[in-house]
Chain A
């Protein structure tokens, strides 16, 4: 803290507030600081929630209430503290959220009433304002519950009255009541058993503490951006990437385990790190500290250098957040299926799909739900039921798309009261051919019939790698060779993918057909798939050839010819 000496020092917040009268604009600065500090610690307050109680996120509610209070005065040029306090109280009242917000607004209301028309905030009026805030808040409830924000307000007001005996400077009084508020918060579990059982302190009380502490931190020129829960147990550190958006300067995440050679001075430690990065968390346990920080690319080694200067580093992990964020976006883009919305009374199609690409195609063709599954992972009957039981219709058509899944799909009928028909599609191409004939508003029986007929109008080719040497139907293949199945029947073994495709197409009498669709699997690259499509095109120039990313496991290609 800067001391009050005769040497002239540059004008600091401390000098401004300590040595000059606090007017309405000063009060506004303090409210702004309180809001910032409360926001910084919002999650800490939220986590103090005694589950399960109805007043959910106390931190959020208090932040919203303080935000409303600040918004009310943000552009207010008023210099009279009393009038400013009334404006704050009005904003808090209008924006009060949740129990804690209402109590907070009552504290401000009493605070404002005590300052009525007071030009400056002096020590006496500050103490009176705390007392009036407490009285007003207590009036708002029949049976005040102790061990809550009310108790903290009461203890703070008492501490202020006591401090007034020693000093009349409002800032000195504020400085003295912060530890009292802190102590009062720590004492709340003794007064309220439910807190003790949950092993937490009262969230509203803690929020009030942050509001007061934020004001003092601002006056003392301390940062309002880094949560100062000081050190938390390692187990409670929240290191899971829950970032939704990256802000500039959050390129890398560093987690550093270190053992300081001398006890850490947290104040200096945080100040130093704030120069480097954001989202700073410090955890302690098992004799070491764990530091979490987000830093811009150019400063990615600085936290390491800094912690190394303090002691011994045992472990460092560094992650590129920008890259992770992009990867997550790519993933979420893929998993979001454009499923059909089913209206009551319509028919819904449930398709079993062996890969994300194929799932996407079924969804875009009108499937209302997708069940993951295929050759090597057959979905259970239960999984299929889950997929449709919440749809708002009782007319259900299932496309198993694999001959091993047809039975499981048919068993669904025993588990549901809905009207279920299974189209016996033995492969993805058959399923696709069927869904092309699907009409959601059609007559159930005739739609089922159309779809069942369509199944047989397509030739299915599947190309995969033989897992063992085998001879079936006179065709011998060796382990590791590519095998070709035509409508589920083994026809061919070869070592080249082009050969496999061409062999199947010939067998399927493709010359007399119009369309060839190639779904390439997860074990094949796009380039490779397109290269093979070009080879096929040179052999079948009259046919329409489409290449789609099926994403299915194990099968290099699923080929549909129609």
Chain B
């Protein structure tokens, strides 16, 4: 039995560093490589891809990542846990299987595929059976948007991942698993923690929360003393070194950049936090007010004291639906009186939109360089005090044609509007379809996960 289980985080979202997975398995000892690909927006993109091609619908970056780490998996026993399956875990597994075969490693790769999180095909049956999928924020029933639903997935926990490992898999591919379960499951499996081992399950979840955003806990995006954080061009991704007693250390490989410190880990702990006593997951409710941190040598933070409580009887469901269209146009105005010119251009643009009779649910104007991120808190800016300002106008609405007409109204301002304007070389703004999210809860008993070995 292992005394320490090392889980390396190698991907914080779909689009994260292509080099990180390989660096994590080659930079030093690790037992598991954890790759998190799924943000809410990712699921709907993948659903659209699957509609066009039934063999798609998973995070294709994962296949490249698998190729880059395959020698570590086949020769050194590193296991990979990833939610790269998206809305099509079987297709993702088939692609990894192809990769194993074409590289002559067929018998050394055993893939567990977790399914059952995808509720799209069961939605009407479940609604008919009395599940309302009421919006957690607004209370509205799903029927208000039922005909616009693109995808519906329950967030599933550690149990099917543990089952995959018990059945001998060295690659576990899930769909909409919680990010944190990808880390907690292998630790739980190695140490044999039970389903009621609340404190240790909570510790595993918190280890997952810390490493699920990649280098954001190891020096990336770290405000504390940011100037002194070394070598971010070679930033080290995080590793959780877990012990049987539920304590763990967050660290990174020697020779990498970035920094693992109490402040860097604390910043990640509070990221996307709600009520800190109620971090609800399918496996356990973790209490963030019990976490203790201490520096345990350079780039090592020891985490201990964590308490958890019994899980709830619900799972969260993320439903993506079509919600109209949007476009954003920008122009840059130069000193002198840059801000006044940008304000004048906004007035002219809005008058044009009115005269054209275009209808939008919302028109939002921001002045980038002055108040886009802090709004009124940024204080009053005198028109002549900034060297330049970017006027950024966004519109949103149900009618695609109105949004498209808006995109034709930006460029004419260059010749028709206030002077000293530039920054339009990017061309006309792009119209985007909006895919919005509908968070809901469902009884756990309704969702049955399955694990297949391929």
Chains A and B come from one and the same complex: no
Chain A residues at the B interface, C-beta cutoff of 8 Å = none
**Which residues of B are in contact with A by a Cβ distance under 8 Å?**
none
